[in-house]
Structure 1
């Protein structure tokens, strides 16, 4: 006879003990089945075609019943249009998988942000419509599509043409590349690196934007003549003075922002500053001369005497309030007077604003005209260097002779013609590169054949060099 175990009685006072000692598996299975039916639907509500399959062949193979219909295959365009109504794969995760209805059937529908037009967006939309922004976008898109189609059509035409000469001038041998380097394993950079200098391809400068027509020989100022008039000579002198003043002003500016920014101190001042900075925070030596003089009376007085908290009486407080009220009244009266004076100044302000706008418009027109003239007469940018400006020439009044035989030439004709070609845009501006001469140190090599005359000659030569 099997032994019957006595049922164990435990306390089920708390929720934890109730869960521990009660078997609720049947309830959990029932709730799980109910949730599954809510997600997939109840079986009694589904039609028989979804639940059962008719077996027409028998055995293990199952064949579904299909209606014989002639389905016309869809084109690629129609398939794309059908996919437009489908939900994208990236948004399927956000869709609810449960078929449980919303418990709150009267839930308010909230539109996402940006769907409902605001008052400001309506105003901007009206402004864009008036300006024709959307029409311009449509026109630009139409032009871009046309350009893309033309480019595609042109590429298709080029791909069908076979007019490339394999043995023509496009071959590497014709470009000057050695025949030993014409290999598919050698990159083109290495091939071009070994091209002979006379056959190497050199980059051409950018073509000039405008054709500059300038005089080959500019007419010089009449003041530099060998026998100028007093007026012309003084005019040239004023031009030279202004040019030198500009150079001096620029040099003074560079000195002010570079060397002049740093103060110069002597060696003694620098040592005193260093000693003062290094001794900060250290105990200073006692100097009896700096001690304060003793007072005449022997009464003790504290350094910080006690402060008495003297209260204001009613009269003092009333006077203080009256002063504050009077100050506020005068301030408001001043503001009101300023309002009245501003009303009288409206006409003056309007005229001043009109004059300012008029002056700004005139200056803007002058700048635009000047810019247009500079663009039409600008030199072509042949390289990164700027064209050298012509320095004004001047003859000192003491060197004016009035005779062609006694004129001293100060201008190099070859250099002047070279700079003239650069100023006319015929040649690219060049930067003057001066090579530094190496300083050769000379010394005297003593020997048994050296005489006193050789030593004196060497000393004279070294003193002359210095």
Structure 2
């Protein structure tokens, strides 16, 4: 027995209620069928051969025949058959609707830029006349030839057989651990695990011109035990210039550090703070508030210090004079500008000659600087580090210490031989320039932990240790 549901009575005064409680399933089914017929076509228009099939054999006999006559198709043949089929990824692009195209004939529109304009024809003709296209063809041929030569050079095998496989180029010698010397570990990983003191260093570029410098530089003749007056004075002048530079540097550091801040004692600081904080509190200035003449009787009325200002209007004469004065000032200003223009015109020749002189002077100075720079780059050793190479300090003997003979010469240890040789190697480019790095000792802070076992002697020892 079918159960009949009780019909519900609901309000349908809003559009939302109509959508919620109205059953429109039959209308949607009809529209779906109509769209399907539009895509696949109507059944009335299709022939019977497409809709019906004559079955002359039974199901069992048909299955037996198919099993017996079924050919064996290889996988290779199946793949070849699929080549002619349309891929499934292009099924979306194919039309699957039976609805005919409403616009049968369509005009072909050429894309923008395909049709040459009058301006493009003129520019094309000019380029042909100048031979720009021919130059481009020649450049392309040249570039292809250069690229082909580079490719051939990269493919050429090295014919150098001087490499020693068991020599100094083995990974173990360069600091790579033996556990990482395998073909499966990349060279980046091997280098990453090398100790810092054995890490590979980038080879610096060699100088443009190799200069062989002597190991021991020839000293200045003014250092001799019996120098000539001119040589000694020349050395003295160099020492004075070096000392002046050092003094100037020290003064500059003192000026920008110590002398920038003024020293104030504690008492002056406290007095200054008191005077700043007590401004307007201790005493006022009653003289400004009191009248100038104390004998006059005051009736306690407020009177301004400055007299009142009257709004006096200018008459026609004053305004005319003012306009004439402004016009005269403008005329004088214009005359001055015009005179300056005329004088500048007459000064053009002089200005031109001055500019030419300065330009020629600048060109000469530029050439001189370039020559000096080129000479310096040829002579100077390779830069092995960012720190500067120290210059040798002049060994100067005072005139009072000069004796004139070897018997009375006083031997004084003014320098360190090891340090001198080390700096000489740096100047010649054999070693990298370095700075003296002084390690600061950490101050260990000691604490005293009192307890019931601490004696007076322990306390005295701790206090003596702190005072040290």
What's the TM-score bracket when you normalise by the shorter of the two chains?
0.5 to 0.7
Given the alignment of the two structures, is residue 231 of structure 1 paired with residue 230 of structure 2, yes or no?
yes
Q: Which runs of 5+ in 2 are unaligned?
A: 1-44, 53-92, 94-100, 104-111, 446-454, 458-463
Select 1:295's aligned residue among 292, 295, 310: 292
Select 1:356's aligned residue among 315, 333, 358: 358
**Partner in structure 1 of residue 448 of structure 2:** none
**Partner in structure 2 of residue 242 of structure 1:** 241
Q: Which runs of 5+ in 1 are unaligned?
A: 1-52, 62-88, 90-96, 100-109, 449-458
**Distance in 2 of aligned mates of 1:302 and 1:196:** 89
Question: Residue 213 of structure 1: SS of its match in structure 2?
Answer: coil
Mapping of 1:215-294 within 5 angstroms?
215-275=214-274, 284-287=280-283, 291-292=287-288, 294=291
**Partner in structure 2 of residue 205 of structure 1:** 203
Given the alignment of the two structures, is residue 419 of structure 1 paired with residue 404 of structure 2, yes or no?
no
Q: TM-score, normalised by structure 1?
A: 0.56
Q: Can you list the C-alpha shifts for 1:371-402, whole angstroms capped at 9, x where unaligned?
A: 11111112111223221111222112222222
Equivalent pair of 1:385/1:430 in contact (CA under 8 Å):
yes
Q: Can you list the C-alpha shifts for 1:342-373, whole angstroms capped at 9, x where unaligned?
A: 22212211111111111111111111111111
Question: Residue 59 of structure 1: SS of its match in structure 2?
Answer: helix
Equivalent pair of 1:208/1:382 in contact (CA under 8 Å):
no
**Distance in 2 of aligned mates of 1:176 and 1:235:** 52
* Aligned-residue offset at 1:325: 1.5
Mapping of 1:17-416 within 5 angstroms?
58-59=49-50, 145-146=144-145, 148-150=147-149, 202-203=200-201, 205-209=203-207, 210-275=209-274, 284-287=280-283, 291-292=287-288, 294-296=291-293, 297-298=296-297, 301-405=303-407, 406-409=409-412, 410-416=414-420
Equivalent pair of 2:175/2:199 in contact (CA under 8 Å):
no
* Aligned-residue offset at 1:217: 2.6
Between 206-215 and 286-295, report the one with greater CA deviation: 286-295
Question: Residue 50 of structure 2: SS of its match in structure 1?
Answer: coil
* Aligned-residue offset at 1:186: 7.0
**Distance in 1 of aligned mates of 2:119 and 2:182:** 66
* Aligned-residue offset at 1:420: 1.7
CA shift in 2, pair 1:428/1:184, >3 Å: closer
* Aligned-residue offset at 1:228: 1.9
Q: Can you list the C-alpha shifts for 1:84-133, whole angstroms capped at 9, x where unaligned?
A: xxxxx9xxxxxxx997xxxxxxxxxx99xxx9989xxx9xx99xx99x99
Q: TM-score, normalised by structure 2?
A: 0.56
* Aligned-residue offset at 1:213: 2.2
